[in-house]
Amino acid sequence: MRVGMFLNYAGGFREAADEVAELEAAGVDLVAVPEAYSFDAVSQLGFLAARTERMTLMSGILQLYTRTPTLTAMTAAGLDYVSGGRFELGIGASGPQVIEGFHGVRYDAPLGRAREIIDICRTTWRREPVVHEGRNYTIPLPADQGTGLGKPLKLINHPVRERIPITVASLGQKSVEQTAEIADGWLPMFYHPERAAVVWGAALAAGTAKRAPELAPLDVFASPALAITERPELIAAAIAAVKPQLGLYIGGMGARGKNFYNDLIASYGFEAEAANIQDLYLDGRKAEAIAAVPDELVRAVSLIGPAGHVAERVAAFAESGVTTLAVTPLGRDSAERVALMAGLRAIAG
């Protein structure tokens, strides 16, 4: 099992690079750089490429709507070049709050866009002429105010690899099925190993049945919070530290009836709890919404507790099909985070 971690997207590049170099020395396989509405992920990934030698560097994630498909392909090829073939392209739809609210781009057709972007990226990396003829990315006809001068072009540079791994963040049934069909990796959020098969098993099976034979088996990610400790007060503090993110996503990332994360937690068996958290959050009672997140849910989607318990949970994630743990270590500083990751590396083998 690969062991990796997500970086804090609000941190400084130089401080993060110093920490990542220590993480690499501790045996961490991968770091993922988010791109929300802070600094862009690409700048930090390029900076990290110069400070590391072995580990995989992953975008976690680049949104589908913020770059053209060919720019995404060019960016991935460039990051793969400067890292010496160590880049992994993580993409995803994000949500209307970020895409429409921050970027001012209509949030539409995430399934179709993901499929076309993956196809165009792979075409670009093979240095084949790119033809935009999909439903979401197409050359307009002159009558539609196009110039009529557009023609297929191919990438000038020769990429380090013509098949850079693509991991897709997805949650819904159709998007997970499509991910299992065409992507190299799958990155769900709030992964519950004991409930994953119930929620996504059919979609994964349907997508795998259509998967091209040249694709390797799907790399399944999980991104739990990590705290390895024997001390009850630190376990309680770690559980409390996870609740604000769960409360935000369950309660505030969407309207009533249009919240992917609320639907997911409800499908885990926390339907009443998810509805209550959302009601509290949308009523402006955010502290109460966070407090309403069940400890049982936090424990299920996290790696928190003594080393023996964490080892049992790692085994549960592996048994459910997870092949990459990209965790968020709940350390107070760099030294604690590096120690936590070294501990997880020892547990995961």
- pLDDT tens digit sequence for 301-318: 999 999 999 999 999 999
pLDDT category of residue 34 using cuts at 50, 70 and 90: very high
pLDDT at 14 over 90: no
Tokens of 131: 């033809």
- Tell me the per-residue pLDDT of 167-193, one tens digit each, with 9 for 90 and over: 999 999 999 999 999 999 999 999 999
Euclidean distance between CA atoms 292 and 277, whole angstroms: 6
- Tell me the per-residue pLDDT of 108-162, one tens digit each, with 9 for 90 and over: 999 999 999 999 999 999 999 998 888 898 765 555 556 666 788 999 999 999 9
Q: What does pLDDT average to over the chain?
A: 94
User: What is the mean pLDDT of the segment spanning 28-51?
Assistant: 94
Residue 258: the pLDDT is 86
pLDDT at 254 over 90: no
Look at residues 167, 135, 162, 133 and name the one whose alpha carbon lies nearest to residue 150: 133
pLDDT category of residue 343 using cuts at 50, 70 and 90: very high
pLDDT category of residue 194 using cuts at 50, 70 and 90: very high
User: What is the mean pLDDT of the segment spanning 314-334?
Assistant: 97
39 with 84: CB under 8 angstroms?
Answer: no
Q: Which residues contact 44 (CB under 8 A, 6 or more apart)?
A: 7, 13, 16, 33
String of b and e for 80-91 (b: at least 16 CB within 10 Å)?
bbbbeebbbbbb
Name residue 209's amino acid.
A
Phi first, then psi: give them for residue 136, nearest 5 degrees: -105, -25
pLDDT at 60 over 60: yes
Euclidean distance between CA atoms 177 and 128, whole angstroms: 27
Euclidean distance between CA atoms 186 and 45, whole angstroms: 20
